[in-house]
Structure 1
């Protein structure tokens, strides 16, 4: 279709707060048609000073017509590690991406899992590198 497709929306990020969801199609950014717009230009148009606004025209499956959403720009921190404690005190750690903070985030996740597992401690660990 030549439009920008939202693949993922960060929890608590500006896009989520504006109401964007995965699989939304962004048709316009501040009135500029995204048809044929490359990703670099789209990102450049969406970036701006913290607390300034970007107006997005969005189409979603099930909607009759596009809707306008206002995104309030903010500093975005992309998490590099997700973790959870599974049944049987098995820790699950997923490395989402590799950044300068990944080692720190991994150490924090392992420490949190160790604390959450209680006196019996972790019985296993799944390290997801997909």
Structure 2
């Protein structure tokens, strides 16, 4: 398991928490509200999506919670979902657009993975 400290906002207060993640058997462990929670998925991006959905009143200040961040198949396979693309409408995703989903971000955040999926679909359409 690898570990990473992330920032979140709960009830108006910012604090850091440590998450543990496993790239071989994609999962994320986090201690919130005095209990440990584990989320499994096809890759770490989708594990993180499940975590955010489970705590809709907590804001996670991470790239993986940004509306326009989504993994490609290749990035998911190579990094187990740890890396994803920060997408811009009408622009092809390039290597310099790859971000770590646990890197700090404070703009355009969402806990709804459907918003990210909708943005991804709109982005694909914008390339035509």
TM range, smaller chain: under 0.3
- The higher relative CO (CA closer than 8 Å, separation ≥ 6) is in 2
